[in-house]
Structure 1
Amino acid sequence: MSAHSPTLRLDGRNADGLREITLNYEGLDRVDGSARFGFGETKALASVSGPIEVRPNLELPSQATLDIHIRPVAAISGTDSKALAATLKAILTPALLLARHPRTLIQVVGQALCGSDTGSGIGSAGRGWNASLTASLVNASSAALLNAGSVPMRGVVCAVSVGRIASGNEKEALLVLDPAEAELPRLSGSGCFAFLFSSVLPITSLNEADIPPCSLLWTNYSATTPFNESELHRARTLAERGAQVVWGKLKESVAWMEASSTGKGTQPKRERAGQQQEQFPESESEVDDNKMEI
């Protein structure tokens, strides 16, 4: 992230700064893979089961059935949760090789672990899910799929959120990466950006040497006041840089899982103070390199 962005945020971050990223592989019982992902206090948990037997009414003859459920931090799943589940299904489907396991079921369950400060993630009808929590759910789902290693993948989906702070004295609104819940009242717009990272995609101008190309799969960026194509492009560019950081954390976690499964690896050292840190707890899951790209 650039060191020249102005420091105007409540927590002292630069406009293009992410909060501390945490990633834990939970090892939940009776699922094939599970992971907890968070930007700061905005955390989500996801589990993956499959391929498993599918009910006849859900069976697809040419590919696996992808079934996604989203659970709020409190209460029962409502309209907002079901709408977000449909969105995550659309986001994750391009990353999965579902034709490899026809007539089976792959089930992803996402659980919000925050959101009480904004109404997002607590099952309140019409309150929606804030963009950062949506991004955490996407990343937790991707990490759980990597942890399972049982679902063939053509790439990995990474997501971040972008917020918009309007200013009447500036020609352009200030865009900030990964807004925290405390920053939401200041925003005049926000959105989640989800990218597919895969080596089969064409290289873009933003592509780093050690990071595969990515393409934008989905965004719900919107604002309370009109914005133009230039602003949307700036938001996408900012989000892509943030998504590359998330991809790097997922790659590090996969490398650690591989080393852990052979008994030759040690937990990665934490980065220097002031930089983002990740957590990779012990896991017995193995990762099949032939089934996924990262």
Structure 2
Amino acid sequence: MARTDGRKPTDLRELSIVYERLDRVDGAAKFGFGETKSLASVSGPIEVRANLELPSQATLDIHIRPLASISGTDSKALSTTLKGILSPALLLSHHPRTLVQIVGQALCGTGSGSGMGSVGRGWNASLVASVVNASSAALVNASSVPMRGVVCAVAVGRIPSESGLELVLDPSEAEISRLSGGGCFAFLFSAVLPSGTRDAPSGSLLWTNYTTNTPFDEAELKRARELAEGGAREVWKTLKESVGTMDASHATTVRKTKAEPEVMEENASYAEDSDDAKMEI
């Protein structure tokens, strides 16, 4: 089956991570699957209002903003979901009676309407995955909140084909109209998990919203999970490589898709008005 951009079913789009220098936050990062991009910032631990204070751990407060308009029901629901996904990765008990605040912002969505703030349009699975990964990168950038692992997410789509149904990794917005199902998978990668090591951590599935418009069986869900875990591990590798660029202004870590050769290049200067200046690794 030919995908709209020529990728194989197991290929991710180009991954990009930019560590932003935003004012009045402790860490910020932009994450992208191709043109599907999100920005996240982390503040904390900081002083918390009395009505939100927890005596035994920090309060985790997450706000998700669409590309346009104000946050609606879809954005608020995603904020709640993201809180459940990230909480297992954070050691909030180390900073009781404080606040850790994460703000996520969609940077795309014009193609599908997802991320535009339109009620009922929802956020497509790839955009949800980019918000999760941007939040994880921002937490790594802040380094002010202890973490037991890193959460990485990817989307899996289900596309009808001549041989039946085929699962594809990281569907683009151009492919959304062809999907008969799919969802986002979020994994926690940590060396403290069973069989995990510092170089090749184990992955544990934290959350998925995989669903289809026709019945599916356990075998299909298993295949989707395995496909997603392989993609999420590529995200983790890219995030690991990106740590070396955090001190470089506007540096971007980029991992090519499998269909393209990887190159190593250093770029010392970037145009101030460009969001896509890249250091390729």
Q: Same fold (TM over 0.5)?
A: yes
One of 179, 191, 198 as aligned partner of 2:183: 191
For the pair 1:106 / 2:100, whether they are aligned, the reply is: yes
Take 1:279 and 1:76, find their aligned partners in 2: how far apart are those partners? Answer: 40
Question: Partner of 1:142 in structure 2?
Answer: 136
Cα offsets for 1:35-79 (capped at 9, x unmatched):
000000000000000000000000000000000000000000000
Take 1:157 and 1:243, find their aligned partners in 2: how far apart are those partners? Answer: 9
Question: Partner of 1:218 in structure 2?
Answer: 207
One of 167, 186, 196 as aligned partner of 1:175: 167
Cα offsets for 1:196-244 (capped at 9, x unmatched):
00011123xxx89932001000000000111100000000000000000
For the pair 1:88 / 2:78, whether they are aligned, the reply is: no
CA RMSD of aligned residues (A): 2.5
Q: Percent identity of the aligned residues?
A: 68
Take 1:244 and 1:271, find their aligned partners in 2: how far apart are those partners? Answer: 14
For the pair 1:58 / 2:56, whether they are aligned, the reply is: no
One of 238, 255, 265 as aligned partner of 2:227: 238
Take 2:9 and 2:119, find their aligned partners in 1: how far apart are those partners? Answer: 31
Question: Partner of 1:14 in structure 2?
Answer: 8
Report which of the two has the higher share of strand.
2
Cα distance, 1:190 vs structure 2: 1.1
Question: Partner of 2:17 in structure 1?
Answer: 23
Take 1:65 and 1:139, find their aligned partners in 2: how far apart are those partners? Answer: 21
Take 2:56 and 2:85, find their aligned partners in 1: how far apart are those partners? Answer: 20
For the pair 1:248 / 2:248, whether they are aligned, the reply is: no
Is the CA contact (8 Å cut-off) linking 2:156 and 2:171 kept in structure 1?
yes
From the superposition, tell whether residues 42 and 208 of structure 1 become closer, same or farther in structure 2 (CA, over 3 Å).
Answer: farther
Gaps of 5+ in 2: 269-281
SS of the equivalent of 1:48 reads: strand
Take 1:280 and 1:138, find their aligned partners in 2: how far apart are those partners? Answer: 27
Take 1:269 and 1:95, find their aligned partners in 2: how far apart are those partners? Answer: 24
Cα distance, 1:255 vs structure 2: 3.5
TM-score (norm 2): 0.88
